[in-house]
């Protein structure tokens, strides 16, 4: 019996006033528990006291055997319990019990799940959710499974988009309160939105610098020679000027006033080589590479801004990951909203050229994005108007500085790796 897996069940009754913060803490506490030796998993259940109606949270920890539980009780339990007491004091109550594996009384032949080897309870495995059957599936069943997946994704997708676009901060708040299965997971949403947005943006971005383009105060671009004669007649000189300098003149690198560390990192010869490679096709390849690298830049940028938000809300009681979640949802909104705006403008230009008030639409969209962020901050962090406004401005300046710094780094990286 000592070698069989057992369940360590903890029933918690928090005060209603701390329920939201308690649930958020419980998620991380459970993660810390299952990282201990001997723990194999944990599930958190919502419950209710039938007599008092008080909200209960039941955590069922799975352990390898009784010896693993005994080790936990002797070595780790005092410290893990002290963390909850230090955070919430006597504002919650906890009871604990040990549950050993059993079997459904209605089953005549107990057998393990073919997928995860857990003992089956009923027609579906309580551990992995797979149906308790091993017969050969049919083509119709495969099609049904595919249909169920598509229907489930559609319902979650539309529900997620509705909250994300029209109810600032509500999606983040629901996720923090444990309402997660009904929505698309945040990082999956963010990655999908960024991929679609930048893909569409790359399709609609014209990287071909036209013949009538003038850079700064320079002269218009003259027609480039035919491809078969370009190498012989004018390999680089397209007579395009930027601030009065031709492309071939731009690569005369002057390192006067440049810091020594930069000159050591990128010597003048290397800088000229990079410049010539960029100007070879008048910057088209460089622009494409920059656009393709922006999604990766955002993966570095968001964690930095999450740290800024953590510092802006030091007394909120929220973890770093919760601030990162807020930014992930907000940037997902920004990508999807911008994508809809681009499609609206392109559709209007195609259906009714010159009739769509593009400037008015863009101005209204900009105001909506700014107001959206402010309302999301108020809803998620529950602070007053003026305090939120102050932090809104402070984070806006920090956002702009971090974005410019990160983008400059992106330009340097793209130029070096082009």
Q: What is the pLDDT of residues 135-155, one digit of tens each?
A: 555 666 556 655 555 555 567
pLDDT surpassing 90 at residue 59: yes
- For residues 305 and 277, state if they share a domain: no
Domain count, the chain: 3
pLDDT (0 to 100) of residue 106: 47
- For residues 386 and 309, state if they share a domain: yes
The answer to whether the predicted template modeling score (pTM) of the entire model surpasses 0.85 is no
pLDDT (0 to 100) of residue 50: 83
Boundary of a domain, candidates 51, 79, 100: 100
Residue 144 lies in a domain: no
pLDDT band at 122 (very low <50, low <70, confident <90, very high): low
pLDDT (0 to 100) of residue 277: 75
- For residues 363 and 277, state if they share a domain: no
Q: What's the mean pLDDT when you consider all of the chain?
A: 78
Between CA 47 and CA 7, with CA 76 as vertex, the angle to 5 degrees is 40
Question: Residue 225, class by beta-carbon neighbours within 10 Å (0-12 exposed, 13-18 middle, 19+ buried)?
Answer: middle
C-alpha span between 90 and 22 (Å, rounded): 12
Can you list the alpha helix ranges (DSSP code H) found in 105-250?
A: 139-166, 170-176, 186-204, 227-233, 247-250
- For residues 95 and 28, state if they share a domain: yes
C-beta atoms surrounding 67 within 10 Å: 13
Give tens-digit pLDDT for 366-393.
999 999 999 999 999 888 899 999 989 9
Boundary of a domain, candidates 57, 84, 100: 100
- For residues 317 and 388, state if they share a domain: yes
Give the residue with greater pLDDT, 266 vs 166: 166
Residue 291 lies in a domain: yes
- For residues 323 and 231, state if they share a domain: no
Cα 14–chain centre separation: 31
- For residues 264 and 340, state if they share a domain: no
pLDDT band at 52 (very low <50, low <70, confident <90, very high): confident
Q: Tell me the CB-side half-sphere exposure of residue 73, using CA atoms within 13 A.
A: 11
Q: How do strand 6-14 and strand 39-48 relate by DSSP bridges?
A: unpaired
Q: According to the 3-state scheme, what is the secondary structure of 295-333?
A: HHHHHHHHHHHHHHHHHHCCCCCCCHHHHHHHHHHHHHH
- How confident is the model over 160-167, as a mean pLDDT? 91
Residue 397 lies in a domain: yes
Residue 120 lies in a domain: no
Residue 145 lies in a domain: no
Helices first, then strands: H and E counts in the chain = 14, 6
Query: Could you tell me if 119 and 110 are in contact, meaning their C-beta atoms sit under 8 angstroms apart?
Result: yes
- How confident is the model over 236-258, as a mean pLDDT? 51
Give me Rg for the CA atoms of the chain.
Answer: 30
pLDDT band at 12 (very low <50, low <70, confident <90, very high): very high
Residue 107 lies in a domain: no
Give tens-digit pLDDT for 105-116.
444 455 677 777
pLDDT surpassing 50 at residue 298: yes
pLDDT (0 to 100) of residue 199: 85
DSSP 69: H
Instruction: Give the Å distances, CA to CA, from 248 to 226, 253, 282, 284.
Output: 19, 11, 11, 16
- For residues 262 and 330, state if they share a domain: no
pLDDT band at 205 (very low <50, low <70, confident <90, very high): low
Domain that holds residue 267: 227-282
Residue 210 lies in a domain: no
- For residues 321 and 184, state if they share a domain: yes
C-alpha span between 202 and 183 (Å, rounded): 28
Which residues have a Cβ under 8 Å from the Cβ of 405 and sit 6 or more positions away?
A: none
pLDDT surpassing 90 at residue 333: yes
pLDDT (0 to 100) of residue 140: 64
Q: Any long-range contacts for 210-218 (C-beta under 8 Å, 24+ apart)?
A: 213/240, 215/240, 215/241, 215/242, 215/243, 216/241, 216/242, 216/243, 216/244, 217/243, 217/244, 218/242, 218/243, 218/244
Query: Could you tell me if 113 and 125 are in contact, meaning their C-beta atoms sit under 8 angstroms apart?
Result: yes
Residue 13 lies in a domain: yes
C-beta atoms surrounding 271 within 10 Å: 19
């Amino acid at each position: 019996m000592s070698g069989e897996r057992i369940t360590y069940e903890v029933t918690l009754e928090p005060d209603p006033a701390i329920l939201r913060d308690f649930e958020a803490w419980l998620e991380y506490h459970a993660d810390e528990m299952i990282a201990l030796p001997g723990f194999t998993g944990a599930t958190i259940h919502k419950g209710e006291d039938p007599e008092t109606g008080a909200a209960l949270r039941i955590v069922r920890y799975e352990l390898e055997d009784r010896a693993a539980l005994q080790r936990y009780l002797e070595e780790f339990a005092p410290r893990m319990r002290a963390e909850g007491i230090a955070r919430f004091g006597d504002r919650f109550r906890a009871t604990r019990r040990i549950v050993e594996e059993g079997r459904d009384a209605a089953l005549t032949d107990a057998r393990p799940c073919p997928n995860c080897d857990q003992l089956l309870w009923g027609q579906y495995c309580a551990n992995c959710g797979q149906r308790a059957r091993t017969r050969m599936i049919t083509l119709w069943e495969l099609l049904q499974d595919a249909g169920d997946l598509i229907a489930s994704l559609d319902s979650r997708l539309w529900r997620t988009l509705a909250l994300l676009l029209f109810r600032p901060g509500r999606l983040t708040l629901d996720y923090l309160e444990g309402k997660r299965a009904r929505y698309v997971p945040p990082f999956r949403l963010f990655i999908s939105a960024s991929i679609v947005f930048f893909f569409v943006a790359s399709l609609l971005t014209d990287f071909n610098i036209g013949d009538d383009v003038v850079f700064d105060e320079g002269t218009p671009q003259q027609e480039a020679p035919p491809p078969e004669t370009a190498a012989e007649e004018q390999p680089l000189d397209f007579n395009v000027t930027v601030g009065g300098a031709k492309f071939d003149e731009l690569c005369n690198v002057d390192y006067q006033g440049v810091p020594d560390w930069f000159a050591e990192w990128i010597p003048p010869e290397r800088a000229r080589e990079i410049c010539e490679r960029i100007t070879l096709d008048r910057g088209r390849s460089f622009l494409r590479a920059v656009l393709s690298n922006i999604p990766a830049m955002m993966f570095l940028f968001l964690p930095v801004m999450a740290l800024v938000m953590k510092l802006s809300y030091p007394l909120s009681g929220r973890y770093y990951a919760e601030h990162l979640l807020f930014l992930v949802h907000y940037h997902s909104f920004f990508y999807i909203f911008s994508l809809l705006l681009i499609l609206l403008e392109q559709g209007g230009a195609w259906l009714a050229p010159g009739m769509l008030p593009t400037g008015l639409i863009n101005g209204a969209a900009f105001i909506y994005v700014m107001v959206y962020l402010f309302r999301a901050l108020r809803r998620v962090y529950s602070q007053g108007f003026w305090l939120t406004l102050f932090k809104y401005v402070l984070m806006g300046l920090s956002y702009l500085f971090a974005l410019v710094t990160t983008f400059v780094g992106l330009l340097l990286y793209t130029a070096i790796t082009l």
